[in-house]
Amino acid sequence: MARQTKSRAEAKKIKDRWRAKKWYTVVAPEMFDRAQLGETLADDPKKLMGRVMEVTLHDLTGDYSKMHLKLYFKIIRASTNEAFTKFIGHDTTTDYIRRLTRRKRTKMDAVYKVTTKDGYILRVKPLVITEHRIQTSKQHAIRRIMEEVVKKSSEESTFSEFVKKMLSGEISAKIAKAAKPIYPLKRVEIRKSEVLFEPLVEEKKPSTAEELPEEVLEGTPGEGVVEEGEAQEGERSPVETEA
């Protein structure tokens, strides 16, 4: 009898914990026009901190040609109903790379650490594929062009501008154009990126009542918003899962 009572109490506790959870709308950063990335469940906004959302670039832009690009966003702040994110990198689907890589083609991978003009440091991995196999000397020449174009683009751009150039294909197009006199390229992709360091920049926060979210205005001073640093130890979730 005691065992049954204990089981019922545990079942009720689990049910109450689920009832306490609510949905939060996950929002992309300003460089992606604060588009909605999806929703996630949590019973405490602090437990949202550190979760990573994965979406394709097609999900954000509607461009089917960008379905192979996976973008990663980390939740850093939450209000009553929304969770705000920052861009932490992107990747390319394995199937897409496999389709590009065929016999008798030359595949060239590279890894560069670049710094934007506003101090962000990223690890960038471009990929070049030629229609036919080419000589080693030509490969070296193309690799030099890849490095020059990628590093110059980062030095001339802010973090936001560089990410847009990287995902839109602008950097890839510059590499293809510069390498054409050496050998025409079949495909150029910025296969992967990862944000390694971001400078400490004071975030611009709303200063007037008109700029504040309605749910924050309705709360008491100091309530309604949770910052990433306020998450308690053991409450981070590495991936977008239910808390």
Can you say how many angstroms the Cα of residue 217 is from the centroid of all Cα atoms in its chain? 30
Same structural domain, 168 and 132:
yes
Which tens digits make up the pLDDT trace of 53-74? 999 999 999 999 999 999 999 9
| Residue ranges making up the domain that contains 177 | 94-197
Per the structure, how many domains does the chain have?
2
Q: Looking up tokens 């992309």, which residue turns up?
A: 28
DSSP letter, residue 97 = H
Same structural domain, 39 and 122:
no
Cβ density class 139-172: b for 16+ within 10 Å, e for less: bebbbebbeebbeebbeebebbbbbebbbebebb
Same structural domain, 81 and 101:
no
pLDDT at residue 178 in the model:
97
Least confident stretch, 80-84, 126-130, 218-222 = 218-222
pLDDT at residue 103 in the model:
85
pLDDT at residue 216 in the model:
39
Same structural domain, 6 and 100:
no
Same structural domain, 100 and 189:
yes
Same structural domain, 192 and 106:
yes
- CB-CB contact of 210 with 169 (8 Å): no
Same structural domain, 100 and 154:
yes
Q: Looking up tokens 């950063």, which residue turns up?
A: 29
How far is 72 from 37, CA to CA, in rounded Å?
10
Same structural domain, 192 and 123:
yes
Q: Give the DSSP H or E segment for 20.
A: helix 2-20
Which tens digits make up the pLDDT trace of 160-190? 999 999 999 999 999 999 999 999 999 999 9
In the numeric block, which tokens belong to residue 36?
């909605």
Same structural domain, 45 and 61:
yes
Same structural domain, 14 and 84:
yes
How far is 50 from 233, CA to CA, in rounded Å?
11
How far is 47 from 36, CA to CA, in rounded Å?
19
Residue 212 has pLDDT above 50, yes or no: no
Q: How confident is the model at residue 110 (pLDDT cuts 50, 70, 90)?
A: very high
Which tens digits make up the pLDDT trace of 122-142? 999 999 999 999 999 999 999
Q: Kindly give the pairing relationship between strand 22-27 and strand 82-92.
A: parallel
Q: What are phi and psi of 162, to 5 degrees?
A: -65, -40
Same structural domain, 9 and 32:
yes
